[in-house]
Amino acid sequence: MLISAGLTRRFVSFLYEILLLTALLLIAEGLFQGGFQLFSGHAVTELSAYPWLNALNFAWLTLVSLLYFGWCWIRGGQTLAMKTWRCRLLMQDGANLTPKAVLIRFVVASACYLPLLPIYLLARKQPEYQMGLYIACGLFVLPFIWALFDRDKQFIYDRFANTRTVFFPKEVPSKYAKPSQDEAA
């Protein structure tokens, strides 16, 4: 019997995931900027002069995020943060995630979480983006509020992707485990 991971465990895992993803994206951004300098011969400060490069940079960071989550979720159902907090992502029927489920979960989660930082940075200096900031904050908390009222306490992107996050108790190393009846005989 698989036990659903509690909301507190999933929230703390989410916070830890933000830290890990930030480090990964900083490395990816460094590679992008290094490539820009190497191939263009321009300083990194000139990167913002090319809107199409900003769009390409955004697409690169999104792709890196998708590859990270997709690889972890398909490979074992766990990112490093999920391993730390003993959570595993599975399909509703207990099977491993499919690429389609990974993509749906990633897209819906991105729609909720991604707009907050850029809109916040815009709204700090330009008051006309204040309403967008309220909408982005609403989208950011939507999965958590959804989980409070969901019958299975699942996030909105889990509902769309037909996935669930389950709790896996700590495994006892085999040298400390009690031998089974078959092994003892």
In this predicted structure, what is the pLDDT of residue 71? 97
**Residue-level pLDDT, tens digit, the chain, 185 residues:** 788 899 999 999 999 999 999 999 999 999 999 888 888 888 877 877 888 888 898 999 999 999 999 999 999 999 999 999 999 999 999 999 999 999 999 999 999 999 988 898 888 889 899 999 999 999 999 999 999 999 989 999 999 999 999 998 876 555 555 555 555 44
Q: For 28-77, give the DSSP string.
A: HHHHHHHHHHHHH-S-GGGGGG-HHHHHHHHHHHHHHHHHHHHHHHHHTS
C-alpha span between 131 and 80 (Å, rounded): 35
Q: Look up the pTM and report it.
A: 0.84
C-alpha span between 180 and 23 (Å, rounded): 43
In this predicted structure, what is the pLDDT of residue 168? 86
C-alpha span between 11 and 96 (Å, rounded): 22
Asked whether 16 and 85 are in contact (CB, 8 A), the reply is: yes
> From edge to edge, which strands make up the β-sheet containing 87-91?
3-4, 163-167, 87-91
C-alpha span between 22 and 175 (Å, rounded): 37
